[in-house]
Chains A and B, each alone.
Chain A
Amino acid sequence: MSRKAMTGNGAIALALKQAEPDVMSAYPITPQTEIAQNYAQFVADGAVKTEYIAVESEHSAMSAAIGSAAAGARTITATSSQGFALMWEMLFIAASLRLPITMPVITRALSGPINIHCDHSDSMGGRDCGWVQLYGEDAQEGYDNAIQAFRIAEHMDVRLPVMTMIDGFIISGAIGPLEVLQDDQVKQFVGPYEPIHPLLDIDNPVTVGAFDSLGGWYFEHKVTQNMAMDKAMSVIESVGREYGQLTGREYSHFKTHMIEDADIVLVAIGSAAGNVKTMVDRLRAGGVKVGMMKVRTFRPFPHLQVAGALAGARVIGVMDRSDSFGAQGGPLFTEIRSAMFEAPRRPQTFNFIYGLGGRDIFPDDIEGAVRLLEKAAAGEEISQKRYYLNVREVSLDGQA
């Protein structure tokens, strides 16, 4: 293991290089471009054996990845925002064909208006496409998740594609410290690739992607797909433990901080978890019984474990970096709220939507949220559940 200073994108490109898949297909889009470029350079320099497909669109990036994975090659791609949206159709198909493609997603707002900065509307919009979704807080987690993704995706009980998120610009473009494994350690951890029913096996020709309509087995296939998602839950944990033995950094579905005796718990995902933690520590010092949870696994959503961990909370504030138009709150909020519904002592839940289109979130915003949650914890009746942080002419107490 060695220490380096790297951008989030650099860290992820390095992880991919060390895993050295057979095929990468990619198309540039801010803020993911650096990964596509760096990898193309690795190929040009002969640093990897990977074949690189410089496709003409993200739709083709995912289509080519599907072809390559079905052919029997370990395959990756990477994207952001509009590219993710353009892949949309193929994301579902990759998952339903049970192809263990892995894909870093450098999260960015979706148009319109067009905006190149971070929020989670791209990846959160894809939460039901059948991919395993892991969110990282910083470059280190982005690196670690990108490596673990191969093991999770390729596990024989799972065989589902995995996307690993880091926040666009905030993490992808910022230089930070990184603990780096040696190439051979990564290769050994990732292990050899074992395809199932590869198209290239001339002794066993197969048909992939058959028509299966009314009177067929579509429903059975879909149920099977969700069974694989259920199995991914424990595989993510076991791979995270094994990775911990190798690196000292153990991973599970989420991390908690100061929740044992907390009345108030903030739940966050992505890079904002760092700010939240700082604020939790500061408020704790001031006597507020507040803790936090940082979610890593969003699909499959670890609802039982989450409910267990948050069982003691009286009030939960969920921080979402994307909105869900017309829903009761952002995607993380609706998951957490649903997970807590059957808790023996059902907590109050509030949603704080922040950071859309890269809008900053300041300590004051988080503190304001906690102050509101404190009132709820003290028994005050608060009917409004959804709040927006740091929006012009919108304040926490005057929100409509």
Chain B
Amino acid sequence: MSKKWKFSDIVKWGPGRHEPGATIPESGTAEQYETGGWRTERPIRDREKCNDCMICFFACPDSSIRVENGRLVDIDLKHCKGCGICAQVCPRDAIEMKNEIEARMEEGKKEEEKV
């Protein structure tokens, strides 16, 4: 019975359009909601220092430490709120919290360089 929701449409939905009982007929739809904008600091992981111990993975409140095949691949900046827990718990000081605005500007520069 599950159907894929188009979130841009739901905003306009009047009575009778929603599922009975206001049930959300899909799971994990929050993935489509960005909380990255809450961040004032951004975690930057140093691949060299990291030994994939997973301590930061289990300590992240926002499921934002991405792991594949037992390795920490990257940080999900769409959802990471920049709490800094990962940096705080890392036993190897492999994560640094950087000012978000500066991080964005640097990112912008890199994009420019690419172009």
Q: Which residues of A contact B (CB under 8 A)?
A: 96-99, 159, 196-197, 201, 203-208, 210, 212, 217, 220-221, 223-224, 227-228
List, in ascending order, chain B residues with CB within 8 A of A212's CB. Answer: 22
Of chain A, the residue at the smallest CB distance from B29 is A207
List, in ascending order, chain A residues with CB within 8 A of B1's CB. Answer: 196-197, 201, 204
Nearest 3 interchain pairs by C-beta: A98-B21, A223-B15, A205-B27
**In contact, B2 and A204 (Cβ under 8 angstroms):** yes
List, in ascending order, chain B residues with CB within 8 A of A223's CB. Answer: 14-15
Of chain B, the residue at the smallest CB distance from A196 is B20
**In contact, A220 and B18 (Cβ under 8 angstroms):** yes
Could you say which of B17, B19, B22 contacts A96, with CB atoms under 8 Å apart? B22
**In contact, B24 and A220 (Cβ under 8 angstroms):** no
List, in ascending order, chain A residues with CB within 8 A of B23's CB. Answer: 97, 196-197, 206-208, 210
Q: What is the CA–CA distance of A98 and B21 in the complex, to the nearest angstrom?
A: 5
Q: What is the distance, in angstroms, from B2's C-beta to the closest C-beta of chain A?
A: 4
Q: What is the CA–CA distance of A343 and B109 in the complex, to the nearest angstrom?
A: 76
**Interface SS majority for chain B:** loop
Q: Does B25 sit at the interface, judged by CB under 8 A?
A: yes
Could you say which of B2, B13, B25 contacts A217, with CB atoms under 8 Å apart? B13
**In contact, B15 and A210 (Cβ under 8 angstroms):** no
Q: What is the distance, in angstroms, from B17's C-beta to the closest C-beta of chain A?
A: 8
Q: Does B113 sit at the interface, judged by CB under 8 A?
A: no
Segment 1-38 of B: residues with Cβ below 8 Å from A: 1-2, 10, 13-27
**In contact, A224 and B18 (Cβ under 8 angstroms):** yes
**In contact, B22 and A206 (Cβ under 8 angstroms):** no
**In contact, A204 and B25 (Cβ under 8 angstroms):** yes
**In contact, B21 and A208 (Cβ under 8 angstroms):** yes
A-B contact number at CB 8 A: 65
Could you say which of B10, B14, B15, B19 contacts A197, with CB atoms under 8 Å apart? B19
List, in ascending order, chain A residues with CB within 8 A of B15's CB. Answer: 220-221, 223-224, 227
Q: Which residues of B contact A (CB under 8 A)?
A: 1-2, 10, 13-27
List, in ascending order, chain A residues with CB within 8 A of B19's CB. Answer: 196-197
Of chain A, the residue at the smallest CB distance from B24 is A207
**In contact, B21 and A96 (Cβ under 8 angstroms):** yes
A-B contact pairs, 25 of them (CB 8 A): A96-B21, A98-B20, A159-B20, A159-B21, A196-B23, A197-B20, A197-B21, A197-B25, A201-B1, A204-B1, A204-B2, A205-B27, A206-B2, A206-B23, A206-B24, A207-B23, A207-B24, A208-B21, A217-B13, A220-B18, A221-B15, A223-B14, A224-B15, A224-B18, A227-B16
List, in ascending order, chain B residues with CB within 8 A of A197's CB. Answer: 1, 19-21, 23, 25
Q: What is the CA–CA distance of A228 and B23 in the complex, to the nearest angstrom?
A: 16
List, in ascending order, chain B residues with CB within 8 A of A97's CB. Answer: 21-23
| Also in contact, A99 and B21, with CB within 8 A (given A197-B1, A206-B2, A223-B15) | yes
Q: What is the CA–CA distance of A194 and B47 in the complex, to the nearest angstrom?
A: 53
Q: What is the CA–CA distance of A204 and B5 in the complex, to the nearest angstrom?
A: 13
**In contact, A221 and B26 (Cβ under 8 angstroms):** no
Q: What is the distance, in angstroms, from A146's C-beta to the closest C-beta of chain B?
A: 23
| Also in contact, A221 and B22, with CB within 8 A (given A196-B1, A204-B2, A227-B15) | yes
**In contact, B24 and A217 (Cβ under 8 angstroms):** no
**In contact, A224 and B16 (Cβ under 8 angstroms):** yes
Of chain A, the residue at the smallest CB distance from B14 is A220
List, in ascending order, chain A residues with CB within 8 A of B24's CB. Answer: 206-208, 210
Of chain A, the residue at the smallest CB distance from B15 is A223
**In contact, B20 and A206 (Cβ under 8 angstroms):** no
**In contact, B25 and A206 (Cβ under 8 angstroms):** yes
Q: What is the distance, in angstroms, from A187's C-beta to the closest C-beta of chain B?
A: 25
Q: What is the distance, in angstroms, from A369's C-beta to the closest C-beta of chain B?
A: 43
Of chain B, the residue at the smallest CB distance from A100 is B20
List, in ascending order, chain B residues with CB within 8 A of A207's CB. Answer: 23-24, 27
List, in ascending order, chain B residues with CB within 8 A of A204's CB. Answer: 1-2, 25
List, in ascending order, chain B residues with CB within 8 A of A159's CB. Answer: 20-21
Q: What is the distance, in angstroms, from B34's C-beta to the closest C-beta of chain A?
A: 16
Of chain A, the residue at the smallest CB distance from B28 is A205
Of chain A, the residue at the smallest CB distance from B30 is A207
Question: Which of A97, A210, A224, A228 gathers the greatest number of chain B CB atoms within 10 Å?
Answer: A224
Q: What is the CA–CA distance of A212 and B25 in the complex, to the nearest angstrom?
A: 15
Q: What is the CA–CA distance of A183 and B21 in the complex, to the nearest angstrom?
A: 32
Q: What is the CA–CA distance of A203 and B2 in the complex, to the nearest angstrom?
A: 9
Q: What is the CA–CA distance of A205 and B1 in the complex, to the nearest angstrom?
A: 10
Q: What is the distance, in angstroms, from B3's C-beta to the closest C-beta of chain A?
A: 10
Q: What is the distance, in angstroms, from A342's C-beta to the closest C-beta of chain B?
A: 25
Q: What is the CA–CA distance of A220 and B10 in the complex, to the nearest angstrom?
A: 11
Q: What is the CA–CA distance of A40 and B27 in the complex, to the nearest angstrom?
A: 37
Q: What is the CA–CA distance of A204 and B16 in the complex, to the nearest angstrom?
A: 21
Q: What is the CA–CA distance of A220 and B17 in the complex, to the nearest angstrom?
A: 9
